Structure 1
């Protein structure tokens, strides 16, 4: 990732400059830090599968929190100590086999991937949905029982459906927007903890 500000919003963004100063590869690192501080997602000794990982901000945070990481992305990523990087498509059988060659099951699956933005809200939302569903498919395959899943989605008409589907599989479930998300962004994160089977329904946890 180039550290030169490329857009006006970068030049005016607190977290952009904070990331540059503190050595994170992207401002998104603070989103994971904030969510982990609030929800306790990653612990020392965990194995984390980071989907759509490049340039590596979330992988950096996971390593700092004491985890070992397998990072996956179509784009290349510069090496990080404690991270095994796999360049591949998360929807492909070959990529899944490469992941399985490193680790069969993970304590946490995280995904901060975004589709290529077109500027057309409907298109961007549905492309986001495709990514989110692919990440959830990976989580169902690779998460240990009791594991955690964090994924970014763009809010839209499919958000309630996705939440309704995902929450069946986690004891704790919540939609959350960390302070580091840009105020004008439509992104929101699904956080699920306690993976494994269907649970007795409780009151809505989205508040």
Structure 2
């Protein structure tokens, strides 16, 4: 398995992170200051919990959501649920109705068919964005993983309308061969009518 030779895989093992993905959020946060101490963070597609661990380290209170179970992390409230379902939103609402940050590092189940994987990734990202629109405080921040492909430009164009600062970014911890890229949105505009590009 190539990943066994992976620098970030071993670093995560050594430093007690649940996944190599923890370093992606560390790098994103160092560059863009997404999470600050005292923030309330909603981590979608959170299992096994690497991003939640980092958010707690940064001083945030975290609500984590995933279809898969997740071992407890101090400072994290976990909801087992599907981010595309209304009942999951209801469960989130019971804990908190507004967050400073919404994160989503979720990947679809990879089929190996490029177009299908890209499409499924876009659907997941749009589901995460629907939750962000509902739960982000005005001025809040949003980070979501996307797979590059035919629909990327259109989806990103829609996301961009809602944020003052917007950028696509591939952190150094992303694998070189990976098609993933992250949309970084800061300064969410709340309920305003999205402005035209």
Aligned partners of 2:98, 2:152: CA distance in 1, in Å? 27
Match of 1:145 in 2: 138
Note the alpha carbon deviations across 1:82-107, whole angstroms, 9 max, x for none: 00000001111111111000001000
Aligned partners of 1:69, 1:45: CA distance in 2, in Å? 10
Aligned partners of 1:170, 1:51: CA distance in 2, in Å? 19
CA-based RMSD of the aligned residues comes to 0.9
Aligned partners of 2:31, 2:161: CA distance in 1, in Å? 22
User: Between Structure 1 and Structure 2, how many residues are aligned?
Assistant: 194
8 Å Cα contact 1:49-1:110 kept in structure 2? yes
Match of 1:31 in 2: 24
Name stretches of at least 5 consecutive residues in structure 2 with no aligned partner: none
Aligned partners of 2:45, 2:180: CA distance in 1, in Å? 16
Runs of 4+ in 1 over 3 A off after TM superposition: 197-201
Aligned partners of 1:168, 1:88: CA distance in 2, in Å? 28
Match of 1:46 among 32, 39, 42: 39
Match of 1:80 among 67, 70, 73: 73
Alignment of 1:166-181 (within 5 A): 166-181=159-174
Note the alpha carbon deviations across 1:134-183, whole angstroms, 9 max, x for none: 00000000000000000001000111001110000000000000000000
Aligned partners of 2:134, 2:157: CA distance in 1, in Å? 19
Aligned partners of 1:200, 1:154: CA distance in 2, in Å? 24
Aligned partners of 2:88, 2:128: CA distance in 1, in Å? 13
Structure 2 length as normaliser, TM-score?
0.97
